[in-house]
Amino acid sequence: MTYKYFAYFLSAFLVIFAVLFGWIYSIYRREKELLDEYRRLSSED
Amino acid sequence: MMESFYSKAGNRIMAIAISVLWLVVLYLVLAVTRIDPDQQMAQKIFYYHVPSAWTAGIAFLAVAVSGGFYLFTQNEKWDHLGLASAELGTLFCALVLITGPIWAKPIWGEPWSWEPRLTTVLIMFLIYIGYFLLRQFGEIGERTRRVSAVIGIAAFVNVPIIYVSVKFWSAEAQLHPQPGMSQQPADVYWTFILSLITFTLLFVHLLRNRLHLLKLQSQMSRMRDDI
Amino acid sequence: MLSIENVSKRFGAAAVLNGASMRVGHSESVGLVGKNGSGKSTLLRIVSRILFCDGGSIDWDGQSLLGSDVTLRRSLLYLGHEPGFYPALSASENLHYLADLYGVERSSALIAEKLEEVGLDSFRKGPIRNYSRGMLQRLLLAKALMLQWSLLLMDEPTTGLDSDGMELLSALIASWRKEGRSLLIISHDNAWISAHVDRMYVLEEGKIKSREGGMSAPHHSDLVTAV
Amino acid sequence: MMLRVLLRKEILLEMRSREILVSMITFGAAVVLLYAFSFRPSPEILRQFAPGLLWTVVLFVSVLALHRSHSLEKEFDAFSLTLSAPVDRSTLFLSKWFGNFLMLLISQVILLPLFFLFLQLPFPSMPGAFIGLLILVDLGISSAGSLLSGAVMRARVNEFLLPLLLFPMVTPLMISAVKSTAAVMESQPFSQWKLWLQLIVSFIIVFGLVGYLIYDHVCEE
């Protein structure tokens, strides 16, 4: 049993993984920014 | 009143459940499913490629449906659903367009061929790029939302025409595998179904995450208004 | 009777109208004043269905003007702040088209007569692109003379008019009031507008405040602060 | 009735300014010339390329008319005249659709002879079928194009958004047009290109219907 073409599978998998996690991380960052701004604004009040 | 998405226990549980499912699928794909004698590991890209396409399909359907609801109700939440679905649909579309050529390189010998499904996905991808540019360059407001709803609907009703036309356009290039899933052996079948479920759940989860952010964004802009 | 209830409109983040309500009764002449950018023109454009509103209702004699039934619109006529004519066409071609749109008689003799009434008969031919502001305003008055309407919506009708034009406008408004037709006039010129209306509203922060008076407007200082 | 009034206005406007047709024809002729200079291989190869070249010219040229048809409504706020009048918005869509269709057709009366002349191609042996196809594809381009041009007319960069949205949207129409034109040029029997004709017709129906139903939500101010 050989694992021919394993590199192709791995790269496809890693691309999917990276894209999805990049997406989740960017949402998380944007959410964090908003919440920080919210806290700043509400503490000023 | 403004909280992060993962402060809710339900969302955390969902994230963990999807991660576990993801690992299970990966295990099944790597260690359990049979190895195709010709394509070997490259064939296994299929377990990720097809669910991505399926997810993109649901997403674009959601864009069109929420566009219709938005036009009739003018309720902002339908616009949010449309925008979030369009973003995720384009994201999964991109995954389809990336994994397709990775698979095709060793199997067809060339990464891109003008194969009907690939072409359809590419055209949809281009239409949605236009959709985002419209949202970017149109003024932020009711009019842009209305127009994007219209584009979302028009894009979706166009899908069958696009598909049929590219199918007969390059009839000689129809190399794309057409697996009848029900005739597949159990290991392949169930792994595929599980992957499909994982991707669908992932989509719903990401959609809710994005919607939560959109809600925060509009709350925030109202707050900036008041100050 | 025109009744505007709770109309709201946002342009992007900015709320232009925020629950504006007002009424114009039969054979009543009503003025609407407010600061620049207070949303006066927007409100008039919403009533004319040139813009859509985000919420609220606008009725004419108990029937909604916001639906897709267009026959009701025959009773209303909108004279905008911008000319609202095709610059490439001549004055009489524009009026021809207008008469066709509203389905009224449109003989050339009649159009010439109306143009003469507003002092444009010698400029009947040639594109209106080169008209001065005052001439365009006179053309708008010809529009009002051409058509049958029960409520006239005028946005800054005095813009660019010379003293002859002002006299013409005042005479026309007076005769329309005598005929018992309803008028809704927007102007920034308080002295001028208070001489031509029965009642006055002030638009402030997206809401409408009522001011009694008009001919006998005693609240001049209030109005000045509002403008 | 109202459609006739609106359509007459579209035609009158063009007769007075002539800007749409003049720009379409000069631009189209320039593209045809460019093709003639860039592709001078053997006549057979050019004949193979001809349908594709023909429809790219048509599509490029149509963007001018489609864009102008709504942007001219912005000058002097002229659109408010029509929008505030007792006019059904669906009829307004039809008038834009047929107006644009007419502009496309008239420009082609001049551009097509130039195309066949400059590229030294024989005129299709089935002129009736060819002209019928032309009419149908023009109807298709102008249906989707009128809807999209109305949709983007108030966006800041509408002149580049329109082709960006239009081109991918009309790909199925373009594929069908190229395929069926090639069949007509090679005098193939109708059964060979019936499918493409059906696709063109369904495109017209779908976009005509979508435009008719939702143009009301698109055109504002």
Q: Output the pLDDT for position C216.
A: 42
From B72, B167, B83, select the one nearest B117 (Cα to Cα).
B167
Distance separating alpha carbons of residues C82 and B180, to the nearest angstrom: 63
Put simply, the answer to whether D217 touches B146 (Cβ < 8 Å) is: yes
As a whole number of Å, the end-to-end CA separation of chain C is 27
Examine the pLDDT at C217 and tell me if it is beyond 50: no
Confidence at C220, pLDDT banded by 50, 70, 90: very low
Per DSSP, the residues of B8-67 read SHHHHHHHHHHHHHHHHHHHIIIIISPPBTTTBGGGGGHHHHHHHHHHHHHHHHHHHHHH
Sign of CA dihedral C115, C120, C122, C123: negative
User: Which pLDDT score is estimated for B174?
Assistant: 57
User: Nearest Cα to C45, choosing from C74, C17, C26, C69?
Assistant: C17
Residue C174 included in any domain: no
- Which of B49-53, B73-77, B166-170, D214-218 has the highest mean predicted lDDT (pLDDT)? B49-53
Q: How far apart are CA D82 and CA D6, in angstroms?
A: 9
Handedness of CA B208, B214, B215, B216 (dihedral sign): positive
Neighbouring C-beta atoms of residue D47, cutoff 10 Å: 16
Percent of chain C at pLDDT above 90?
58
CB B82 within 8 A of CB B63: yes
Q: Say what percent of chain B tops pLDDT 70.
A: 93
Query: What type of residue is C115?
Result: L
Element at C55 (helix H, strand E): strand C55-60
Task: List the structure tokens of C68.
Answer: 């897709």
What range does the domain containing C215 cover? 1-75+150-157+181-227
Indicate whether C61 and C8 sit together in one domain. Answer: yes
Nearest-neighbour CA in chain A from B10: distance (Å): 17
pLDDT at D177: 95
Report d(CA D15, CA C94) in Å as an integer.
14
Q: Most B CBs within 10 Å: which of C52, C66, C68, C205, as the mutation test of the B interface?
A: C52
* Confidence band, pLDDT 50/70/90 cuts, at residue D217: confident
Average pLDDT over residues C80-87: 92
Q: Using only C-alpha atoms, what is the Rg of chain A? A: 20
Query: What's the mean per-residue pLDDT of chain A?
Result: 88
Cα Dmax for chain C: 50
Is a pLDDT exceeding 70 seen at residue A17? yes
d(C-alpha A21, C-alpha D9), whole Å? 55
For the cut 90, the answer to whether the pLDDT of residue C184 exceeds it is yes
- Chain A contact partners (≥3 CB pairs within 8 A): B
Query: Where is average pLDDT lowest: B94-108, C163-177, D103-117?
Result: B94-108
pLDDT, tens digit, 9 for 90 and up, residues C3-57: 999 998 887 667 889 899 999 999 999 999 988 888 899 999 999 989 888 889 9
Mutate one of A2, A3, A5 to test the B interface: name it (highest B CB count within 10 A). A5
User: In the numeric block, which tokens belong to residue B131?
Assistant: 């959709």
pLDDT at C212: 61
Cβ separation A5–B39 shorter than 8 A? yes
Residue B135: pLDDT above 50?
Answer: yes
Q: Is the pLDDT of residue B12 over 70?
A: yes
The answer to whether residue B173 scores a pLDDT higher than 70 is no
pLDDT at B199: 96
Interface chains of chain C (3 or more CB pairs under 8 Å): B, D
- Assembly ipTM: 0.87
Give the best residue of A16, A23, A29 to mutate against chain B (max B CB count within 10 A). A16
- Residue B213 near residue A30, CB atoms below 8 Å: yes
Q: Point out which residues pair with C153 in neighbouring strands.
A: C78, C184
Question: Where residue C66 falls among pLDDT bands split at 50, 70, 90?
Answer: confident
Is C113 a domain residue? yes
Whether the Cβ atoms of residue D136 and residue D197 lie closer than 8 Å to each other: yes
Q: Which of B171, B29, C26 is nearest to A10 (CA)?
A: B29
| D150: closest chain B residue by CA | B147
Instruction: Give phi and psi for D123, each to the nearest 5.
Output: -65, 140
Q: Is A in contact with D (3 or more beta carbon pairs below 8 Å)? A: no
pLDDT at D51: 93
Q: What's the one-letter identity of residue B13?
A: I
Per the domain annotation, does C170 fall within a domain? no
Residue of C104, C167, C110 lying closest to C138 (CA atoms) = C167
Q: Do B142 and C54 touch (CB under 8 A)?
A: yes
Q: Show Cβ contacts of residue D13 under 8 Å, excluding neighbours closer than 6 positions.
A: C86, C88, C89, D72
Please tell me the predicted confidence (pLDDT) of residue C226. Answer: 43
- Residue C12 to residue B225, Cβ atoms within 8 A: no
pLDDT of residue B171: 65
**Quick check: C185 and C30 in contact, CB under 8 A?**
yes
Q: Which residues of C touch D87 (CB under 8 A)?
A: 70, 101
**Which residue is associated with the tokens 């503490």?**
A43
Q: Is residue C162 part of a domain?
A: no
Tell me the percentage of chain C whose pLDDT exceeds 70.
Answer: 92
Cβ of B139 within 8 Å of Cβ of C12? The answer is yes
Residue in D177, D104, D175 with CA at minimum distance from that of residue D143: D104
Buried b / exposed e across C56-92, counting CB within 10 Å, b at 16+?
Answer: bebbbeeeebeeeebebbbbbbbbbbbbbbbbbbbbb
Q: Taking the CB of residue B152, how many other CB atoms lie within 10 A of it?
A: 28
**For D48-101, how does the pLDDT look when each residue is reduced to its tens digit (9 = 90+)?**
889 999 999 999 999 999 999 999 999 999 999 999 999 999 999 999 999 999
The verdict on a CB contact (< 8 Å) between B143 and D195 is no
Using DSSP's 3-state secondary structure scheme, residue C33 falls into strand
- If one counts the domains in chain C, the total is 2
Per domain, the residue ranges of chain D are: 2-218
| pLDDT 10s digits, C100-147 | 999 888 888 999 999 999 999 888 888 999 999 999 999 999 999 999
pLDDT of residue B179: 60
How far, CA to CA in Å, does D38 sit from each of B213, D51, D80, D108?
Answer: 51, 16, 46, 22
Structure tokens at C58: 């606008």
* The Cα angle at residue D98 between residues D94 and D100, in degrees rounded to 5: 115
The token pair that represents C188 in the structure block: 């920034």
Per-residue pLDDT of B48-66, as tens digits, reads 999 999 999 999 999 999 9
Does C211 score more than 80 pLDDT?
no
Q: What are the residue ranges spanned by the domains of chain A? A: 1-45
pLDDT of residue B193: 92
Is the model's pLDDT at C223 over the cut of 50?
no
Contacts of D172 in chain B (CB under 8 A): 158, 161-162, 164-166
Nearest to B157 among D155, D168, D206 (CB): D206
